[in-house]
Structures are given as structure tokens and as C-alpha cells.
Structure 1
């Protein structure tokens, strides 16, 4: 089942409940403003198509305000240029079976070269050719009102609403993230740029944000180092490797009262590479392998003290005994 969920794209989500509710509240404010102004300016039939497109933009602007697809040029250029492509396609090949597909494909191509990839732009281009008589009658006015009008409105709401919260401020460069001290050298920016080029795929994260994430992660990793006394029965440890090499081991048996380098212990792989396998090693060997202690939280793992991890394991065992009783 875990493999199926991974294939389907089910991933751990580290956002807080506050962040989730703020995303919903921001989208509510944005769409309310757009809906009111659009229906005041345009006939209701034309306005409905635009509101649907802007609803998709609202998801990006308020749920992922720092994503590359959510930045002002992506929203402005993606929506407006896609509207232009859609109107041109409808005028050149009106009501043809291939026109909707051509409009969306052309919009994606233009957005790529204009560096303003914004998924809702595809819906805006499609609406220009399949939105019915009300949209068709607007012609190039469709680009100005309602599309440009609504883009300006939703960007204005995004700046004002997200600006109320320092960590969400929009555009992304305005956000105030925790300052990080200088850390030991790791991958350089040019290394990340090389890796992105090797992937040859559009990644919805800004380059500066990627570097900031790495810096915060390195700061967190340097906070504590494990010693022999930190290898505890029941605790889980991560090797902190990236990719397929990552794994979590849990100490399931050791020599009570002894914590020397040569003491033998038994562990089980509970996550990552080799999950389900068991093995034996010296305490020093596990210490050399482990980067830090962890506990499971939701779909992922978080770093904790070894004592917390061992206590969590004991609590789980007690809960299992209670359930069997």
C-alpha cells in the first residue's frame, strides 16, 4: 500500500493547521473580491468562466504563496498571455474540433518561453475558445476585462492578505524567514543548478528558496551530535542520507547496563532502504551509522532526543498491549 500511495503522489505534509486555515481564508477573500467585481462589470455567463480559472490561481497564491508557479510574473504573464493565445486561436479557427487543444498547447508553449508557467493559464486559454457565445463575443476585450481585471484583483489581495503574516509575505522575497548562521560547506549553488539541469524538468520551487531550505536543514543537523550513551533500547535512528540510501533503524535488543563501544545490539530497519530487515552490530557501529534519533509523526519522521524516541517506543508497546487486552 505504501508503494501504491508513493506512486500516486501521496507525500508527507509538514504544514501546520494554522497554515492550512490561512490558505483557505486567503482564497475565500481573493475569490470573494473577484466574484463581486467581475459580476458587477460583466454578464453573469462570462463571469462564471473567469471565476473558475481564478479559483485555480487562488489555490497557488494562498496555499503555495512562495512557489515558482505562484509569483506575480507567473500569474500575470501566465493568465494574460494564455488569454491572448486563446483569443487568437478562436479567431483563426473558430469552433473547430482541434481549436481547444491548440489553444491550451499554444498557451503552455508561450508560458514556457516567457518564463511564466501558471497552470490556470491553460484553463483561461481553453475558456476563450469553449466558453460559449458570451466569451466569444468579447474578442480581445476578454484579455482586458475580465482576465487582466481579475489578475490585478487577485494579486492585490494576495499581497495584502499574505503580508499580514511575516512568513507568508508575497511575493516570496518579502517573506521573513529565520536567520541562519554560517555552516560548514555543503553543496554550492552551482551544484544545485547542475542537478536541476540534469533533472530537465520544471520544479515548483524557487532557486533561492531551495538554498534557504538546505541552509535551515544543515543548521538543524548540526544542533546535536550523538554519543555512545545516546544509543538506547527502543529508540529509532536515521542515517540522514538522501534518496534511496535513507533508512531508519530501531534498537530492539541490547546488553542491559552496558554501553561500551564493543557491546552488541540488535536492530530492525523500520523505514527506508531494507525496511523489515534485522541485523546485529557493535554499539559503536550503530553510532557511526546514525545521524540522529527520530520518531514517526504522521507520514514522516522528525528529529528528537534519543530519550524521547525510546520513550515513544515504550508508549507504543504499552498501547499495543492495552489493545490486545
Structure 2
């Protein structure tokens, strides 16, 4: 039992190649640099640097795990907007202190879930907006402008860089499941995206994967399973 519990703490195997790590790393660096640089041109370097933490975290999502549900365009734009507005409202009514910052990040999470734009780096942004440096605090509600400008620049960088490096972004909208090209076992209705969606809802937890990704993974697994089965049959026939 202790061994099994300890094994859960170990990292899972990585299914990406070092070339993909390098591609993502370059994108993260360029995206963060572009966002901070453009923001500094319009609002000054101190304000831009104040936002660099959440922007760096967003860059990891948008460039390294761009297929995830938390890395899609609406997630970063909606998440940053929600976190900023909620935090500015909390700071206005309750002041700028640690208690207010913790309240802001919790409220921002609820709003992001309601609007389906959950984006983890926006939680860090909520804390920074409440516990802002003097330059950022002096902007008041105007702080929304540099935040959204930086988010838009990060999204633009991800759109351009990912697609130029042959990584499709954003995620393609869901389409009806194609009819299976191979005959199915009698009585087996097959698994579709809508079935996986219901299964994800039943799990009642935050899972950063789309039903379409799961369906594609299942189809690929079935393909390799059929190839393995055919290979085993041929080996036995020899």
C-alpha cells in the first residue's frame, strides 16, 4: 500500500519528443517577450513587468499544451477579463490586502467556470491585480486595458507561431463523429464524442481534455490494437 501511494507522486511518462520541447520553449520565450514589450510601449515597463508572471504561465499553456481546453482563445481572453474585473471590484470594496486577494481569486474562479473560460494563470492575475504595485494601482479600472492588450498579444503570438510550426491552434470545433471504416462487433454501438462528454460530466472534476481528443485517442488505440491482433494471429499461423 505505501509503495502504491508513493508511485502516485511520481511523474507520468512524457509522450512528446525533445524537438517538441524545443519548439514550445522558443514559442514561450517569444510570446512572453512580445506581450511584455508591446504592453510596455503603451503603458510603461513597470506595469508590463507586473503582469509577466501570469503571462509566462499562459505562454506555457498556449505553446506547450495548446490542444488543452484551458489553452483555447476564449480561455485566456475571457479568463483574463473575468479575473481583472472581479479583482478590481474586490479591491474597490474591500481594499488591497491579502484577505481581499484571496477572496478575489476564489470569486474569479467561480465566474470563469460560469462563463466556461477557466484559465489557471488568471488566478495569479487576480492576486496581482489586488496586490498591485503603485503604478498599476493608480490606473484603477483602467488596468483592464494593459491586461487585455497583453493577453491579446500572447494569443496572437500563439496563433501565428503554433500554426507556422505545424501545430493546429486553436482547437478545431467539434464535428459529428465519422462512421467507423471497420465493421463493429454486433451489439457494440461504438463510442462517440457525446458519450465521452457525458462521461466527463459524470466524473465531476476539472479535466483538461476535450471529448474530441479522447475520441481521437480511442480511435488510434483501436487501430493499433487491431494491428497487434492481426500480427499475433499471423505469428501463431506460422
TM-score, normalised via structure 2 length: 0.86
Match of 1:56? 57
2:233 corresponds, among 222, 227, 236, to 227
Q: Label 1:89 to 1:32 Cα distance change in 2 as closer, same or farther (>3 A).
A: same
State whether residues 59 and 154 of structure 2, in contact with CA within 8 Å, keep that contact through their aligned partners in structure 1: yes
Q: Secondary structure at the residue paired with 2:205?
A: coil
With a CA cutoff of 8 Å and minimum separation of 6, indicate the structure with the bigger relative contact order. Answer: 2
Encode CA deviations 1:38-67: one digit per residue, 9 max, x unaligned.
Answer: 222223332212111100100000010110
Aligned length: 226
DSSP 3-state at the match of 1:79: helix
1:194 aligned partner: 198
Alignment root-mean-square deviation, CA:
2.4
User: Shift of the alpha carbon at 1:228?
Assistant: 8.2
Call closer, same or farther: CA 1:14–1:103 in 2, change over 3 Å: same
Q: CA separation in 2, counterparts of 1:180 and 1:16?
A: 32
Within 5 Å, which residues of 2 pair with 1:1-325?
A: 3=4, 6-8=7-9, 10-144=11-145, 146-166=146-166, 168-173=167-172, 182-183=181-182, 184=184, 186-225=190-229, 226-227=232-233, 229=235
- Distance apart, 1:212 and its partner CA: 1.3
For 1:33 and 1:230, the matched residues in 2 are separated by 59
Q: Is the 8 A contact 1:86 1:129 kept in 2?
A: yes
Unaligned runs of 5+ in 2: none
Contiguous gaps of at least 5 residues in structure 1:
232-258, 260-325
CA offsets 1:149-203 (integer angstroms, 9 cap, x no match): 011101111010001133x1210218xxxx9962435333343233212210121
Give 3-state SS (helix, strand or coil) of 2:164's partner.
Answer: coil
Q: Going by fraction, where is strand more abundant, 1 or 2?
A: 1
Cα gap change, 1:45 to 1:160, in 2 (>3 Å): same
Bigger Rg, structure 1 or 2: 1
Structure 1 Cα separation of the partners of residues 96 and 201 of structure 2: 40
User: What residue in structure 2 maps to residue 311 of structure 1?
Assistant: none
| Structure 1 CA distance for aligned equivalents of residues 54 and 193 of structure 2 | 36
The structure that is helix-richer by fraction is 2
Q: Distance in 1 between matches of 2:234 and 2:7?
A: 35
Deviation per residue, 1:236-257 (Å, 9 max, x gap) = xxxxxxxxxxxxxxxxxxxxxx
